[in-house]
Amino acid sequence: QTTHFGYQTVNKEEKVEKVAEVFHSVAAKYDLMNDLMSMGIHRVWKRHTIACSGARSGNKILDLAGGTGDLTAKFSKIVGSEGQVVLADINESMLKVGRAKLHDMGIVGNVECVQANAEALPFADNTFDVITIAFGLRNVTDKDAALRSMYRVLKPGGRLLVLEFSKPTTEALTKIYDWYSFNLLPNMGKVITNDAESYQYLAESIRMHPDQETLKGMMEEAGFEETSYQNLTGGIVALHKGYKF
Q: Is 187 annotated among the ligand-binding residues?
A: no
d(CA 185, CA 203): 8
172 within 8 A of 101, measured Cβ to Cβ: no
Q: Is there binding between residue 204 and ligand SAM (CB under 6 A)?
A: no
* Sign (positive or negative) of CA dihedral 97, 103, 104, 107: positive
Q: Is there binding between residue 134 and ligand SAM (CB under 6 A)?
A: yes
Q: Is there binding between residue 235 and ligand SAM (CB under 6 A)?
A: no
Q: Is there binding between residue 119 and ligand SAM (CB under 6 A)?
A: yes
Binding test (CB under 6 A) with ligand SAM, winner from 118, 147, 153, 237: 118
Q: Is there binding between residue 158 and ligand SAM (CB under 6 A)?
A: no
Which residue's Cβ lies closest to ligand SAM?
67
Q: Is there binding between residue 67 and ligand SAM (CB under 6 A)?
A: yes
Q: Is 117 annotated among the ligand-binding residues?
A: yes
The region of 101-109, 132-140, 220-228, 232-240 touching ligand SAM under the rule CB under 6 A is 132-140
> Closest separation between CB of residue 119 and ligand SAM, Å?
6
Q: Is there binding between residue 135 and ligand SAM (CB under 6 A)?
A: yes
Q: Is there binding between residue 90 and ligand SAM (CB under 6 A)?
A: yes
Binding test (CB under 6 A) with ligand SAM, winner from 55, 62, 94, 150: 94
79/97 with CB nearer ligand SAM: 97
Which positions lie near ligand SAM, rule CB under 6 A? 19, 23, 65-68, 70, 89-91, 94, 117-119, 134-136, 139-140
- Binding residue numbers for S-adenosyl-L-methionine: 68, 89, 117-118
